[in-house]
Amino acid sequence: MYNHIKCRMDLDISDDVTDQLGIIWSDVIFLSESLSGKVGEFLIRSNGSLCHKTAEYEKVTESEMGMPDVVWDGTGYSKLITTDWLRIDYSGLLDVKTTILGKTADADVEIQFELREGYVASHKINKLDVIDNADRKSHDKMIKQLAIKRAEKMNTKTYQLYYSIIKRPLKFVVRLFGLVGSYMQDFSWKAEKKLNK
């Protein structure tokens, strides 16, 4: 299971790359493996401290289902009371990664943080591959245009007439043959079973 990590501290990534991606690094969500047996949301504050989001829940009745902050907890419904960021006293390496789809470029990012007693001692950018996204955008545009053309085609009177007169009855006949075939197969299987006794 992946953890979600946001980093508020400066990552020393150039302004050119940031402008190409059109992002704010403190809003980017990174993924990492479980950390000290904890899973969920993590935050590296601007002072370098590593924090884990904890939540306190209260059991509620099923009548409150669907209300704001009421979730299924695996055994019943619970309501979120408070959330808090608690610092984790962790020492070791923390590898995080993400893929960013930006304005004029995309990027694959991998960063390794070295933590000592819950604070970032250093960080190293292992991978920052910035890729021109013109091909992805043209492919997305082509897919959107195909979907629009298909929707326009299906809304024409000719297609609706074809669907009503030919396609829908044909679907019904094929399903009917399938149903009759399954009953015949079931009957023959039961008959064969009786004969083999």
**Beta-sheet strands, E only, within 64-118:** 70-72, 77-87, 92-101, 105-116
User: pTM of the entire structure?
Assistant: 0.64
Confidence of residue 107 (pLDDT cuts 50, 70, 90): very high
Choose from 25-29, 77-81, 132-136 the range with maximum mean pLDDT.
25-29
Query: If you average pLDDT over every residue of the chain, what do you get?
Result: 90
Residue of higher predicted confidence among 38 and 152: 152
Helices (H), the chain: 15-21, 134-154, 157-162, 168-195
Is 70 exceeded by the pLDDT of residue 138? yes
Residue 1 is predicted with a pLDDT of: 61
Q: State pLDDT tens for residues 22-53.
A: 899 999 999 998 887 788 899 999 999 999 99
